[in-house]
Amino acid sequence: MGLKTLNRINKKDLKWPKIIIAILSTIGIVDTGSITLKNWGLFTSLSCPGIHNGCETVLNSPWGTLFENNQVNIPLSLAGFITYLSILVITIILSLNLISPKEKLNKFLWWLVFLISCASSTFSFLLINIMFFKIQAYCFFCILSAILSFSIFIISIIGAKFESREPMIFRGFIVAISVLLGGIIWSTNVDPSKAIDVASPTENVSPIITTSSSPQKVKFAKFLSENNIVMYSAYWCPHCHDQKQLFGKEAVKELKLVECAKDGKDNDYELCQTKGISGFPSWEINGEIISGTRDLNELAIKTSYKGDSNF
């Protein structure tokens, strides 16, 4: 009797997994879509709960970008957006009951949801580890995306009602291992520590800036330079590197930078001594010296910047 009941339940098409997956994937679309639009400068505001500058640090890190050149910038969040959109479209097709639950196409679509969410969950697990142990910052939107991916993965197992566990475990394992290996290779290639090692060991220069700049950041950097606002730094100072990372490599080229370390390349040590620079980084704004890493919006306020401050 129990076996007959189980078979009857298994044959019955469950609606609630489709509804929950559709809701979760919609949240994922909003989450990753907002990050993507912010990265492209098309989203006016993006408030990240939690530690100050955590999201900006993570999203502007080398791991926040899939591909970029002078014309194209593809943030990692775009891949997440496409993933959630694909799951939502498949779930909508399944929810419309256009295909009988007994048809092979129905099973194939459930397999797609299962495998896509399995790949997404595995990659999210890798990204969370990178965020905690490599970047050492905390992004609410990234953690939310990881939770959504894993939740969809678990619910897809329930909704798909796989007749046998062996194919599910085998295929899921193959996808997870493939994504994990590919993700580790990608992560290693973009690791900024490798880029830093490229610098000549005989020259005391600052580490290479690995983050990209939005058009707003470049315009702000040009404004600072045009108004003789100077950043004093030392090549060995990690906080100076953090400040430059907030601007991005394109914007940093527009800044007026003064190297204060006596053994630093192209240094202006005497000027720094004359100015009384004792901490790094330091900003000289209208004759006033302000020390410490500064949020770009804070700098915009202090310098009376009137341009687009959607950094």
Same domain flag for 168 and 258: no
On whether residue 74 sits in a domain, the answer given is yes
Q: What are phi and psi of 108, to 5 degrees?
A: -65, -40
Same domain flag for 10 and 156: yes
* Number of domains composing the chain: 2
Same domain flag for 163 and 56: yes
Same domain flag for 254 and 173: no
Per-residue pLDDT, 46: 63
Q: 176-187: per-residue pLDDT in tens? A: 999 999 999 999
How far is the C-alpha of 55 from the C-alpha of 126, rounded, in Å? 17
Radius of gyration of the chain from its Cα atoms, rounded to whole angstroms? 25
Same domain flag for 138 and 257: no
On whether residue 24 sits in a domain, the answer given is yes
Containing structural domain, residue 252: 215-302
On whether residue 310 sits in a domain, the answer given is no
Same domain flag for 34 and 101: yes
Per-residue pLDDT, 75: 86
Domain stops at, among 156, 190, 224 = 190
Same domain flag for 91 and 156: yes
Q: What are phi and psi of 65, to 5 degrees?
A: -125, 135
Same domain flag for 181 and 235: no
Q: For the whole prediction, is pTM greater than 0.75?
A: no
Q: What's the distance, CA 239 to chain centroid?
A: 21
DSSP characters over 83-120:
HHHHHHHHHHHHHTT-S-TTSHHHHHHHHHHHHHHHHH
Same domain flag for 186 and 219: no
On whether residue 307 sits in a domain, the answer given is no
Same domain flag for 29 and 164: yes
Same domain flag for 89 and 219: no
Domain stops at, among 129, 157, 190 = 190
* Residue among 138, 252, 135 at smallest CA distance from 193: 135
Per-residue pLDDT, 69: 58
| Start-end of H helices in 12-75 | 16-39, 54-59
On whether residue 9 sits in a domain, the answer given is yes
Per-residue pLDDT, 14: 81
On whether residue 35 sits in a domain, the answer given is yes
**Tokens standing for 49?**
């709960």
Same domain flag for 65 and 167: yes
Per-residue pLDDT, 205: 86
Domain harbouring 48, CATH code: 1.20.1440.130
Per-residue pLDDT, 126: 96
| Residue ranges of the chain with per-residue pLDDT less than 50 | 1-10, 195-201
On whether residue 197 sits in a domain, the answer given is no
Side-chain-side CA neighbours of residue 109 (13 Å): 22
On whether residue 110 sits in a domain, the answer given is yes
Per-residue pLDDT, 267: 93
Per-residue pLDDT, 188: 87
Domain stops at, among 173, 190, 207 = 190
Q: 224-263: per-residue pLDDT in tens? A: 999 999 999 999 888 898 899 899 999 999 999 999 998 8
Per-residue pLDDT, 199: 44
Domain harbouring 279, CATH code: 3.40.30.10
